[in-house]
Amino acid sequence: MTASVSLGRQIDAVVIGASAGGVEALSVLLSAVPSGTKAAFFIVLHLPRDRPSMLAEIFARKCALPVREAEDKESVAPGTVYFAPSNYHLLVDQGPQLALSADELVHHSRPSIDVLFESAADVYGNRLLGVILTGANEDGAAGLAAVQEGGGITVVQQPETARSPQMILSALKLRPADKVLPLDGIAALFETLAPQGVPI
């Protein structure tokens, strides 16, 4: 299928939530993000809470943008990929600025996708793109709905192409997404985030 990849508006931030199978899916997507992309990326990938996350190191090699683990009260730099650290919720605050929280687990998860998406929807409104990928729980459904209520664009991975479709199906059950795409369709969407006419 050829994805219609026009977003038709400026996107300042992309939030991505993934769980089981997420490392493989993110490898495809983050490799596709062109250098020169101005949007900031915030990512929650569920991992065991009792050890440090290595995600920033792993994906730094695969992505044209700088990839970092989010730090508390850090100002958001455009064109940067931020991963939530292990055992903390990641929130976006006014500024935009990053904030962490050690509040209770949400859907048995910390970091939780809902917590990230709801806070980002509040800050970015209709300049936000929310993406739910493969996963085997229900985290992210309420968050993606919040992105849509804030005027943002919502995308889910095509469930048949996901290693674990449950998270996507939960999101779709709560609220139809604006786009349902296989990974290469989402990758194509990300390629449009870089400003047109960037000198090569």
Partner 1 sequence: MDAEVDSAPSATGKEFHIEMALLIDAIYRLYHYDFRGYAPASLRRRLKAAMVRFGCQSLSQLQDAVIHDPAMFPALLDFLTVQVSEMFRDPAYFRALRQRVVPLLRTYPSLKVWVAGCSAGEEAFSLAILLREEGLLANTLIYATDINPRSLQKAATGVYEVERIAGFTANHQRSGARSSLSDYYTAAYGRAVFDKSLKDHIVFSDHSLATDSVFAEVQLVSCRNVLIYFNRTLQDRALGLFGDALCHNGFLSIGSKESIRFSAHADQFTDFDRAEKIFQKRAAL
How far apart CA 113 and CA 16 sit, in angstroms, is: 8
Residue 170 interacts with partner 1 (CB under 8 A): yes or no: no
**The one among 16, 55, 81, 100 contacting partner 1 by CB under 8 A:** 100
**Does 19 participate in catalysis according to the annotation?**
yes
- Please select the residue that binds partner 1; options are 27, 31, 80, 101, rule is CB under 8 A: 101
**Under the criterion CB under 8 A, does residue 179 sit at the interface with partner 1?**
yes
| Among the listed residues 104, 75, 68, the one whose alpha carbon sits nearest the alpha carbon of residue 88 | 104
Out of 6, 48, 199, 200, the residue judged to bind partner 1 by CB under 8 A: 6
Is position 41 an interface residue for partner 1 (rule: CB under 8 A)? no
- Confirm or reject binding of residue 185 to partner 1 (CB under 8 A): no
Catalytic residue, chosen from 46, 89, 107, 119, is: 46
In whole angstroms, what is the distance from residue 199 CA to residue 117 CA? 33
Within residues 108-137, the interface with partner 1 by CB under 8 A covers 115, 118-119, 121-123, 125-126
Helix or strand run (H / E) with residue 101: strand 97-101
Based on the shown chain and the rule CB under 8 A, indicate whether residue 2 belongs to the binding site for partner 1.
no
* Cα separation, 143 vs 145, whole angstroms: 5
- What DSSP state is assigned to residue 171? H
CA 89 to mean position of chain CA atoms = 14
Active-site residue flag, 75:
no
d(CA 164, CA 80): 27
Helix (H) or strand (E) holding 69: strand 67-69
Q: Which stretch binds partner 1 (CB under 8 A): 1-9, 21-29, 35-43, 164-172?
A: 1-9
Task: Give the number of C-alpha atoms closer than 13 A to the C-alpha of residue 24, restricted to the C-beta side.
Answer: 9
Closest approach, Cβ 27 to partner 1, in A, equals: 25
* Comparison of 109 and 164: residue with beta carbon closer to partner 1: 109
Q: Which is nearer to partner 1, 24 or 173 (CB)?
A: 173
Catalytic choice (109, 119, 139, 170): 139
Tell me the sheet residues that pair with 93.
97
